[in-house]
Amino acid sequence: MPIDQIDRNEVLAKIRDIFGAGEPRDRDQAIRDLAAALGYDRIGPRIREILGNDLQTAVRRGILENERGQYSLLCRTIDEYTLDHLVAMLVAAMGPSWQTRDDAIVVAARYMGYRRTGVRIQNAFKSAINAAIRRGIIERDGAAKIRRIR
């Protein structure tokens, strides 16, 4: 499958997998490891560019940190993230249309590179939803529906 047709959230989940099981890596090693995990034997300029952008996305979303050119996992578990960070990621992941709280939690978890939404992730994002409602960042329609305020 061409690199630009792979779901970017799946790539972020691979990044979380790779860095969760290993040591810090420089950019080139991270790209090589990620390409191999995605099934690519060779890395051309296009793959290098796209996966480099994915690493930058992972840093912006708080999946990885880049300290002096060494990438490493920022937080090993959802519990290590601050509430403010979870609120920001929830809002960034949500679209402007109404959605259920459960759907918003799944979208936010995928946005942060998680494949599954277990109890800890659900509880963390439930707190983030409630905090965002209190802060006036998202609104609710009854108990189940929420959306980002434009």
**What pLDDT, in 10s, does the model give residues 1-10?**
889 899 999 9
Selected residue with higher pLDDT from 144 and 122 = 122
Q: Quick one: pLDDT at residue 22? A: 78
For the chain, the 3-state helix, strand and coil shares in percent, each to the nearest 5, are 55, 15, 30
* Other CB atoms within 10 A of residue 94 CB: 21
Q: Nearest Cα to 36, choosing from 15, 53, 59, 21?
A: 15
CB 137 within 8 A of CB 87: yes
As annotated, the residues of the chain forming the CATH 1.10.10 domain(s) are 3-73, 78-148
CB 38 within 8 A of CB 11: yes
Q: What's the per-residue H, E or C state across 15-61? A: HHHHHHCCCCEEHHHHHHHHHHHCCCCCCCHHHHHHHHHHHHHHHHC
Q: In the chain, what percentage of residues exceed pLDDT 90?
A: 93
Domain 3-73 is found in CATH 1.10.287: no
Q: Among the CATH numbers 1.10.1760, 2.40.128, 1.10.10, 2.60.40, which is that of 78-148?
A: 1.10.10
Query: β-strand 64-67 against 145-148: which pairing, if any?
Result: unpaired
pTM, rounded to two decimals: 0.92
